[in-house]
Structure 1
């Protein structure tokens, strides 16, 4: 029996694909071992979102070869699409598999073991309209399952390489999504998170007569028995309309937790980024969500130090963030990415300026995040319990509310994957609230 080890870099979509590849290997009789152990095959699902991600991908490929020089080292995914020629020449890499070919991992390996001749499997990703058939149907180890329903992006933001590594928008047929959700529910999962590279574009590629939208997909997933919660991955602000918010608010399983990607709170910067909305449209979307949902969690991403970002533009962004009031913000320092328009822009910002701006926003994030969590104190909430944790020497079961706020109950056996309902009475730490003594399993 051959052994295989997998390592994932990058986003939730990559994580899903890595898990699906692991399942393909298990079904083909491979024994899966931890990545730091000696294996016959190492598969690194690479990332190429920044130059740093490229470097990490290369490092992991070389580390694998070092661990076992006799092993077959497989580079898969986005970095392969971005740097296929470079990887073909890399002596640490034996097989390269681009996006949309991961489903063929097992036959590709069999072929390679046979005669070691065919080692490159990369398609012209921008010319394919086919959604790659990968799925997961394993027994629940966690309480929450990520489910990839869409691939590719048509947006072409000026800082982003992803449309070139993932190709155009390709959506998964809703009947396939529903079938996988049913399998996940049967395996014990109670919560699913629908993810994609540009989730808001779900369905735009379907032919007339078979049109679907993200909303129609959510409605179908909502009908699946056993699933008690539905979350969404990152959304484009313009998808938030009265109709969209109203429909979601009418679905009891839907979690009011919205990751609305912003990147900058300044219209001039957004223009240079080639983002397709204004701050006014973004704010209107947040207002709609707050009309239809009671205290929804709104989270976002912000890039500081984008080329040409002046002190005034940064201040405009900061004021905008304060006005919206987010639950969480992921703050990124702009990272140059070869092959993008932003890499060639004048007025690149010095690293120390990026760091200083990042620190200002991280402090703001901490303050807003705490305020949002504390706004739930004294309110009754349901928590999906996930795992055991220790706080100040005491044992608890920790989980999340529908708004993705962490909460705990005292530890007891057999509470994993149970729903606990009670009043949130106190903050045990900066990030965790506790349910009161009268909580019960529902």
Structure 2
């Protein structure tokens, strides 16, 4: 009897994407064959997002696409949109199972129940303070980097954000479990580990004892043979003196810090509930940059929050430029039902938000290229990730400060950390070449894994 087939799809953030990889592993362990979405399958899993109203719409479209692909299959819907709007999901004819952002480790079991059930099953449960961190299989999405989720949930309740409702309160993974995973990954040959979470900087606040992100990092950097430790995102208020010190002191930690700004206008930051100012943000960047010269600073910026005037938008532009950010993700404000900002006066027209998004993205591209140009002519260690699509004989990878580099390679070097001289910036890629002595060792078959 052939193995049952499962097709999986995800929307949204990297946390969502990594969780989907973990869910895929659950089905593989249960004997399923994973097929591309939306090919013919016996089970479809749609991992949804709800960060904007467009995310909701795309989630519904993806669900309907799965149903059309095989009306006789079991369609399971999980993720943030399923958590906050299970009734809307269940109202789509053809949905068999709704799980949300809890009990995803039970998906294979729940799919079996849904197959036998006479009506769609709703396993969405509200999150509760004190619930345990949900253990999902470790995500190893490439031969070069592994993503390790250390934290779940958020309780900041920024006025625009649906995430605390979708993800629930803080739940941190025990530090001993994280340390053991890192040791296992390093022993398996992984050179870079990326720590992820919903509110990563809040790690440990829900655990007993003197546990914090700074304390965790100090343990992890001591793992023998760990070459790189990268942190996905840290909010400005989470940079305690202890955290700043470890980020500056420990060179194993990648010199790339993603620090959400959201707005450079103090009035808007206050209305968002962000509890820092544009000056605070710039002082933080300056402090970290002084300790880690050459580090990349990237950010999230929202445009068109209720009440944002052109003058306030210009304040955001000024902070983005003064911070000399290496990259920005720009998001037009999207009202989320149930959040305070959705009912605030002075909502900004859609066309104004779109225009501000366009202008800020243009500035972001310029700043990104300016930052990349600083490193032309230098030799940096690049973690080889994969052959470059569409360019036979070329490889691509990432520097510690998150520059994407392409270069001619004598063989598939995926998973190696090797020096590359950066030569030319074309689009979003820097093109370079392996240092001569390294290339000769590879061609002679004497190069080892770094």
Q: CA deviation at 1:417?
A: 1.2
Q: Which residue in 1 is equivalent to 2:177?
A: 176
Q: CA deviation at 1:189?
A: 2.2
Q: Which residue in 2 is equivalent to 1:397?
A: 395
Cα RMSD (Å): 2.0
Q: Which residue in 2 is equivalent to 1:344?
A: 343
Q: Which residue in 2 is equivalent to 1:205?
A: 206
Q: Partners of 1:266 and 1:304 in 2: how far apart?
A: 11
Report if aligned partners of 2:43, 2:73 keep a CA contact under 8 Å in 1: yes
Q: CA deviation at 1:113?
A: 3.1
What per-residue deviation string (whole Å, max 9, x for no partner) do you get for residues 62-81 of structure 1? 11111100000001111111
Q: Partners of 2:303 and 2:316 in 1: how far apart?
A: 9
Report if aligned partners of 2:420, 2:432 keep a CA contact under 8 Å in 1: no
From 410, 413, 416, the equivalent of 1:412 is 410
| TM-score, normalising length: structure 2 | 0.92
Q: Partners of 1:163 and 1:187 in 2: how far apart?
A: 35
User: How many residues were matched structurally?
Assistant: 438
Report if aligned partners of 2:5, 2:34 keep a CA contact under 8 Å in 1: yes
Q: Which residue in 2 is equivalent to 1:153?
A: 154
Q: CA deviation at 1:276?
A: 2.1
What per-residue deviation string (whole Å, max 9, x for no partner) do you get for residues 388-410 of structure 1? 2268x674211111000112331
Q: CA deviation at 1:171?
A: 0.5
Report if aligned partners of 1:241, 1:285 keep a CA contact under 8 Å in 2: no
Q: Which residue in 2 is equivalent to 1:106?
A: 108
Q: 1:179 to 1:110 in 2, by over 3 A?
A: farther
Q: Partners of 2:129 and 2:332 in 1: how far apart?
A: 32
What per-residue deviation string (whole Å, max 9, x for no partner) do you get for residues 357-398 of structure 1? 12221121111111101111232311111122268x674211
* Unaligned 5+ runs, structure 1: none
Report if aligned partners of 1:229, 1:255 keep a CA contact under 8 Å in 2: yes
Q: Partners of 1:85 and 1:351 in 2: how far apart?
A: 28
Q: CA deviation at 1:277?
A: 1.4
Q: Partners of 2:355 and 2:61 in 1: how far apart?
A: 29
Report if aligned partners of 2:154, 2:163 keep a CA contact under 8 Å in 1: yes
Q: Partners of 2:337 and 2:106 in 1: how far apart?
A: 29
* 3-state secondary structure, aligned to 1:61: helix
Aligned pairs for 1:209-228 within 5 A: 210-228=209-227
Aligned pairs for 1:247-266 within 5 A: 247-266=246-265
Report if aligned partners of 2:419, 2:434 keep a CA contact under 8 Å in 1: no
Report if aligned partners of 2:282, 2:322 keep a CA contact under 8 Å in 1: no
Q: Which residue in 2 is equivalent to 1:6?
A: 8
Q: Which stretch shifts more, 426-435 or 373-382? A: 426-435
Q: Which residue in 1 is equivalent to 2:69?
A: 67
What per-residue deviation string (whole Å, max 9, x for no partner) do you get for residues 400-442 of structure 1? 1100011233122131111121432333445314146536275
* 3-state secondary structure, aligned to 2:388: strand
Aligned pairs for 1:108-127 within 5 A: 108-116=110-118, 119-127=121-129
From 24, 42, 56, the equivalent of 1:40 is 42
Report if aligned partners of 1:240, 1:289 keep a CA contact under 8 Å in 2: no
Q: Which residue in 1 is equivalent to 2:197?
A: 196
Q: Which residue in 1 is equivalent to 2:424?
A: 426
Q: Partners of 2:426 and 2:277 in 1: how far apart?
A: 39
* 3-state secondary structure, aligned to 1:386: strand
Q: Which stretch shifts more, 49-58 or 329-338? A: 329-338
* Unaligned 5+ runs, structure 2: 439-446
| TM-score, normalising length: structure 1 | 0.94
Q: CA deviation at 1:240?
A: 2.6
Report if aligned partners of 1:421, 1:439 keep a CA contact under 8 Å in 2: no
Q: Partners of 2:87 and 2:426 in 1: how far apart?
A: 52
Q: Partners of 1:395 and 1:429 in 2: how far apart?
A: 20
Q: Which residue in 2 is equivalent to 1:366?
A: 365
Q: CA deviation at 1:123?
A: 1.2
* 3-state secondary structure, aligned to 1:125: coil
Aligned pairs for 1:292-303 within 5 A: 292-303=291-302
What per-residue deviation string (whole Å, max 9, x for no partner) do you get for residues 74-129 of structure 1? 01111111111222332221001121210111221233334456711111114452
